[in-house]
Amino acid sequence: MNVAFLDSIETTTYGGMEEWIRLVAEGLAARGHSVTVIGREDSDFLHRMEGGNDSIRLEPMRISGDFDPMTIARLKRVLSDNAIELISVNFNKDVRLGGLAALFNGNTRVAWSLGLNITSDSVAHRFLTPRLISGVIVPSQALKNEVAASGYIEPDSVEVIPIGIPSLSRKPDWKRDRERLVSEFALPSDSIVAVTVGRFVEHKGHRYLVKAAQGIIQQYPGIKFLWLGDGPLEEELKQLVKESKMTEHFVFAGMRSDVAEMLPGANLMIHPSILEPFGIAVLEGMRAGLPVVASRVGGIPEVVAEGKTALLCEPLQPTSIEEAVCDILDDRTALKGMGEAGMRRWNEHFRYDQMIDRVERHFDKLVSRHEV
């Protein structure tokens, strides 16, 4: 197949959907498919794509507003020049820009790949979206239910394909990985390291973990909260930690490219989101052998096995987070068992090759249906 991916994310932002595109594009290219990735000029998104499969064509583009004829013309030219059979689009704007370019090209199918429910009740969305897309891909049944509730996306057109992530480049080794972690951040060797991965945005729920931390520290004074990420709320969260007199217990490590290598040296993962259609960070924690405390929201209950690989807490409730973290730390045998069970669950249900298999079959089905 000749496949393209369109993502108009702003130049300085890189999120879960961009990582999904990178993984899928590289997986399809490795299987011999022709892959083109279209994004904004000088964007973090395209820069991160540069270090992957050399056979993937990158198309930096000036992307203007909805229905911009110049952007649509540029997209149509890319589709035509590369004989694109299917284009995967992300944002609502991408649906319209990429969808109209595909329509004018005449022989390109459109897959709307969603990481969040961004359906809208506007007339433009209700009228145009069903006419421009051939199908929808979501990572969880929970998100499928939300998308179908829009009323203009047929449930049968929505395919649930769970996210899969590659194996670690090297097998986790507790002693080695622990030494690296405590050395990197100058932590006491006997620290309990609770890691949280995600952008500092409201729906990730970091502020509720700060509020829960006071009670957790009282029971486990050696705990350190390692936060991997960045975002618009970073300074606000640092100030909240400072005002709560817990600065020595928090490490703001920034956005890291080596998160996968760092996780196995932690003791557990805490993921306090208030909105999470899937939870790729939770999956990364499971792959690293970490027991998980996460919010019972969105697709997270589909990713974990509650009570076996994770304890789930209620969103927006610091007391619930505190109780779950302390419960999981109170039983060190169960702590180790949960981590091992999480690694097995990732290996059985959420491997990278499984995701690429499913995406490949779905794209092929959409293209074949068009040919018929």
Question: Which CATH number characterizes residue 50's domain?
Answer: 3.40.50.2000
Domain check: are 345 and 367 in the same one? no
Query: 185 and 329 share a domain?
Result: yes
User: Does a structural domain hold residue 316?
Assistant: yes
Quote the pLDDT of residue 360: 98
Neighbours of 166 (CB within 10 A): 15
- Tell me the whole-structure pTM to 2 decimals: 0.90
**For 9-22, what is the mean pLDDT?**
90
In a domain, 337, yes or no: yes
For the cut 60, the answer to whether the pLDDT of residue 171 exceeds it is yes
Interatomic CA distance for residues 17 and 285, integer angstroms:
18
Share of the chain above pLDDT 70, in %: 99
Cβ–Cβ under 8 Å, residues 75 and 104 = no
pLDDT at 296: 97
Q: How many angstroms separate the CA atoms of 299 and 201, rounded?
A: 18
Instruction: For residues 157 and 191, state if they share a domain.
Output: no
- 372 pLDDT above the threshold of 70: no
The mean-pLDDT minimum among 199-208, 252-261, 313-322, 344-353 falls in: 252-261
- Do 215 and 160 belong to one domain? no
Residues 183 and 304 in one domain: yes
Q: Are residues 156 and 200 in the same domain?
A: no
Q: Are residues 100 and 83 in the same domain?
A: yes
Q: Mark whether 138 and 207 lie in a shared domain.
A: no
Region 269-286 average pLDDT: 95
Residue 199 lies in a domain: yes
Whether residue 169 lies inside any domain: the answer is no
Q: Three-state SS for 85?
A: coil
pLDDT band at 370 (very low <50, low <70, confident <90, very high): low
pLDDT score for 128: 92
Q: Tell me, what amino acid is at 153? A: I
A 10 A CB-CB count for 340 gives 12
Residues 254 and 327 in one domain: yes
Same domain (yes/no): 328, 367 = no
Same domain? For 179 and 307 the reply is yes
Q: Are residues 336 and 363 in the same domain?
A: no
Q: Spell out a b/e string for 55-78, using b for 16 or more CB atoms within 10 Å of the CB, else e.
A: ebebbebebeeeebeebbebbbeb
What is the domain extent for residue 240? 174-349
Count up the domains in the chain and report the number: 2
pLDDT at position 84 is: 98
| Residue of higher predicted confidence among 364 and 66 | 364
